[in-house]
Amino acid sequence: MTAVDTDILAVAREQVLERGEGLGQEQLLAVLLLGDDRLEELLQLAHEVRMRWCGPEVEVEGIVSLKTGGCPEDCHFCSQSGRFPSPVRSAWLDVPGLVRSARETRDTGATEFCIVAAVRGPDARLLSQVREGIKAIREDGNDIQIACSLGMLTQEQVDELVAMGVHRYNHNLETARSHFPNVVTTHTWEERWETLRMIRAAGMEVCCGGIIGMGESVEQRAEFAAQLAELGPDECTMNFLIPQPGTPYEQYEIVEGRDALRTVAAFRLAMPRPLLRFSGGRELTFGDLGTKQGMLGGINAIIVGNYLTNLGRPAAQDLEMLDDLKMPVKALNQSL
Amino acid sequence: MSTEFCARCGRVEADGDHTRCAVLLASIDPPRFCADCGRRMVVQVTPAGWVANCSRHGERTSTSPSVD
Ligand code: SF4
Ligand SMILES: [Zn+2]
Ligand SMILES: [Zn+2]
């Protein structure tokens, strides 16, 4: 079978929709190269795949930055790196602030609350803040599931997080392995992969994704989707570059809407089963209409409310959209 | 409230075009600079809001952005 004599969407229908087997790198490239005239058909197929292998529910999550800014790493997209003249100053959220944030998130009906810190990896102070924070969230009567994103971990730290009851860990590979050295020079893709391996081995759910629009080629987008599929995360988070003031990517273009939708659908065809989450940058890249199209093109999870250093749409607006789309918000007992 | 300085880029409002800054402040960016003195503020974004602190002019929040 060659890509020339077989239509890629017909292949995907049989392979992904019927058999639940994700597309490989070459096939994903063929999807990403489809013209705008096939976009609607592509989104429809990605939606069918999502409905068939995941169902209609949407997982809703809120996130908060526990430690903002001053990160020693040099991820070129990041406003929190201390190496760039970004306007973001260092800040620490105290435990009462964390409890309030978790409550604000729970009040939206979200089932996930992710605690994030801008660090290479956590130190003892950060871990103890997380431990106290989780304890206080529970004492507040909040049973929301707690995820963390605290950078690269040692085995002891992985074990500590498991003991704290953290059920999912986010650690993004950010971009294709071949493009990573252009984006980050202070640590490697392989170091990130190693943290992901330890998280998986410890029985935590793995959340891993990246950012589209960092100068990667279309081949590298296909490569990245295939690499994520190989990792097999429980959740894949899709961000679209927000060119942040002061960072090396300040002047980068925002990903064009149709290109972004094609990428969303391709990621779904690479990974039929995991949660595929709309994360940062969707407001700029997609707007209201594009967000809806994404929800009908493979996405089945969203972050509501604000992000780490950027603002999102009010949660109510997203919940109303899900209601319009007749997509039920996943309930807490369904995810336990 | 005086708005001498652009809360997004920190430059003097009267100087240059801040149309894009205004669009971003109304959508995805919290204020980063004090509108009164142009100092960089310490900003904490939370799921439902933000709090910004100028060392000279105190706290502003998303619910009372014009209060200094
Ligand atoms: S490690 Fe995380 S916080 Fe630090 S610069 Fe990279 S993306 Fe930003
Ligand atoms: Zn400005
Ligand atoms: Zn001031």
Question: Tell me, what CATH number does A210's domain have?
Answer: 3.20.20.70
Which residue has a Cα nearest atom 2 of ligand 1? A118
Q: Closest Cα partner for A225 from A281, A284, A269?
A: A269
Residue A167 lies in a domain: yes
Q: What is the DSSP string of A54-119?
A: T-S-BEEEEEEEEEES-BSS--TT-TTBTTS--SPPPEE--HHHHHHHHHHHHHTT-SEEEEEE-S
Residue A333 lies in a domain: no
B45–A309 CB contact, under 8 Å: yes
Q: Find the closest chain B residue to A311 by CA distance.
A: B28
A101–B47 CB contact, under 8 Å: yes
Residue A182 lies in a domain: yes
Instruction: Using an 8 Å CB-CB cutoff, list chain B residues near A310.
Output: 28-30, 45
Residue A179 lies in a domain: yes
- Ligand 1 centroid–CA A254 distance in Å is 20
Residue A77 lies in a domain: yes
Q: Measure CA A88 to chain center.
A: 22
User: Tens-digit pLDDT profile for chain A (336 aa)?
Assistant: 554 558 999 999 999 999 999 999 999 999 999 999 999 999 999 999 999 999 999 999 999 999 999 999 999 999 999 999 999 999 999 999 999 999 999 999 999 999 999 999 999 999 999 999 999 999 999 999 999 999 999 999 999 999 999 999 999 999 999 999 999 999 999 999 999 999 999 999 999 999 999 999 999 999 999 999 999 999 999 999 999 999 999 999 999 999 999 999 999 999 999 999 999 999 999 888 889 999 999 999 999 999 999 999 999 999 999 999 999 999 987 654
Q: Closest Cα partner for A76 from A175, A219, A193, A207?
A: A175
Q: Measure CA B66 to chain center.
A: 9
Q: How far is B24 from chain A (nearest CA, A)?
A: 9
B59 and A CB contact within 8 Å = no
Q: Closest Cα partner for A205 from A45, A61, A34?
A: A61
Q: Closest Cα partner for A131 from A192, A198, A66?
A: A66
Chain A, chain B: beta-carbon pairs less than 8 Å apart: 72
| Domain limits for position A38 | 3-328
Kindly state the percentage of chain B with pLDDT values over 70.
Answer: 90
B45–A311 CB contact, under 8 Å: yes
Which of A63, A66, A68, A71 should be mutated for ligand 1, with most atoms under 8 A from CB? A71
- Ligand 3 centroid–CA B68 distance in Å is 9
Burial of A232 (0-12, 13-18, 19+ CB in 10 A): middle
Residue A11 lies in a domain: yes
Hey, what's the torsion of the CAs at A112, A118, A120, A121, to 10 degrees? -50
From A88, A89, A105, residue closest to B47, measured CB to CB? A105
A305–B28 CB contact, under 8 Å: no
pTM: 0.95
Residue A336 lies in a domain: no
Structural domain tally of chain A?
A: 1
Residue A335 lies in a domain: no
Q: What pLDDT was estimated at residue B64?
A: 64
- Ligand 1 centroid–CA A71 distance in Å is 6
Which ligand has the shortest distance to the CA of A86? 1
Q: Closest Cα partner for A304 from A60, A46, A4?
A: A60
Complex ipTM, two decimals? 0.92
- Report the C-alpha gap between A246 and A253 in whole angstroms: 15
